[in-house]
Structure 1
């Protein structure tokens, strides 16, 4: 399977669609009676009045599968366009779909799933600033993207420091570029505040920042037995890290800087869960893009066919098994 996706073959898109559905076999076999999804944060309901439970369960799952499939293709295009793996393949898409199917909450519509579109957009913009002479407009746009993501899912605000980290990694210090980040972020909330003021709902606007004062969450809803599916993921990530370390200083500067950025993106996505008092497992979908790049890097450069094919089969088998049982 991995060998097939190592090549740029249009038929792999069809295989990706099949694998996307295969990795949802468990939830199709044990279909939840009802799924409740908040597409946006409560403070933004006046702006976009989307009702809860607006989709039947089966439709919800199919739409979520379609979105993760589209994201995988976009992600694959970004990784190949900036040559992060050293060659063009469909492995980034394959590993993104795999990482986005690890847990049952990943398989339904969630705010984090929608935010991943913004995260991929940000990733493409990040990778583009290295060769630009002027990036103030790009950083302003990125600040606005983080603000939009915050309206959908508040912990996305943690990506704001990532914008400054990207400037540290890719650019010499320029205070105007740093200021453009916060200006873009404030722009969205300024117009949102005006909208709430016109609707005499300014008290709801103040509630936006309440999660920053919430206590550290301790009620993560996850079955410890289900975390066993992370063992093959952890093994692939470790192998990918050693493979990257072997080639790191032989890589071009842009590639080294890009993987440094992806590392911080993964860490911020991982630790930002504390910004949501009622933590849901789907939050960790934000870690899927950087994790998928490192896993794909291992499979692109791995030499032992029996090992990397077995690793992927164990990963897929574990995902399906823990969904069903």
Structure 2
């Protein structure tokens, strides 16, 4: 299967669509009678004055989530090929994203982190373009806006502002105007939100928006033991990807090296920001799927032993399908 997607053949788009649906059949077999979908944070609920949480049946919820994942996979694939992050064009980034977005059952339904992945892709496009040096002030302002919009949808997204600042250090010589533009971009969205709070007489609650950021980092998290089994092949492929990237690291262009360093930082920051939510939600880690998918694609593109890389991927795919049909 991997060998098919290593080529940049448009017919692979059809296969991606088929795989996206196949990886969700197992969940639909055991789907609950109702699935809740929270599109925005409670503090931004004023901006969406309609009841939508249970508007979709589980079937249409999963179907719409599948469509979003498919579109995101194609956008991510275009991003990787445009910036030549993998060295040669293929459909592996899209394949890896579709696979990782089906890793756990909470990933399969509509959620705020899934919606935010559109912003992540747009954000990465602008971050990687910083190295080219054109319109940096406007790009920095846009990046601040993107992080702020993501924070309205899903509060842990706010920590990705650190990634923006680190990217400005990594790709650009220090310029306080660019940093100020990013901060102003973020402040713009919350300024208009403050206006909404003021006009509705709730200004006293506006300052409480950021209180969850002071939540103590948990000593432990509760996760189904069986989910750890699926993480074994994922962790193994991540290690192989890191090793393959390290082999080619100093042979790559400076922009490519800095891009992968930024993806690593993005992965760590996005992963650790889960604690901001009052209750642990596994779908938070959808934010980590994009940088992980790019790393996976790099490994599978340059791995030489076909039987080995095909076996690893089939094992991961089989594990995902098995745990969807077996809820234990």
TM-score normalised over the length of structure 2: 0.96
Per the alignment, residue 190 of structure 1 pairs with: 191
Q: Aligned to 1:70, what secondary structure does the other structure show?
A: helix
The whole-number CA distance in structure 2 between the counterparts of 1:82 and 1:216 is 36
Q: Which moved more, 1:34-43 or 1:146-155?
A: 34-43
The whole-number CA distance in structure 2 between the counterparts of 1:215 and 1:243 is 36
The whole-number CA distance in structure 2 between the counterparts of 1:314 and 1:103 is 15
1:1-325 mapped onto 2 (5 Å cutoff):
1-51=1-51, 52-217=53-218, 220=221, 222-325=223-326
The whole-number CA distance in structure 1 between the counterparts of 2:181 and 2:120 is 19
Q: CA deviation at 1:278?
A: 1.4
Q: Could you list the per-position Cα deviations for residues 231-276 of structure 1 after superposition, in whole angstroms to 9, with x for gaps in the alignment?
A: 1111111111111111100111110010000000000111001111
The whole-number CA distance in structure 2 between the counterparts of 1:162 and 1:85 is 21
Q: Could you list the per-position Cα deviations for residues 103-140 of structure 1 after superposition, in whole angstroms to 9, with x for gaps in the alignment?
A: 00000000000010000100000111101244011000
Contact 1:32 1:57 in 2 (8 A): yes
Unpaired segments of 5 or more residues in structure 2? none
The whole-number CA distance in structure 2 between the counterparts of 1:133 and 1:68 is 31
The whole-number CA distance in structure 2 between the counterparts of 1:74 and 1:225 is 31
CA 1:85–1:245: 2 relative to 1, 3 Å = same
Q: Aligned to 2:260, what secondary structure does the other structure show?
A: helix
Q: Aligned to 2:209, what secondary structure does the other structure show?
A: helix
The whole-number CA distance in structure 1 between the counterparts of 2:203 and 2:215 is 21
Q: Aligned to 2:46, what secondary structure does the other structure show?
A: coil
Q: Give the number of aligned pairs.
A: 325
Q: CA deviation at 1:191?
A: 1.0
Q: Aligned to 2:56, what secondary structure does the other structure show?
A: coil
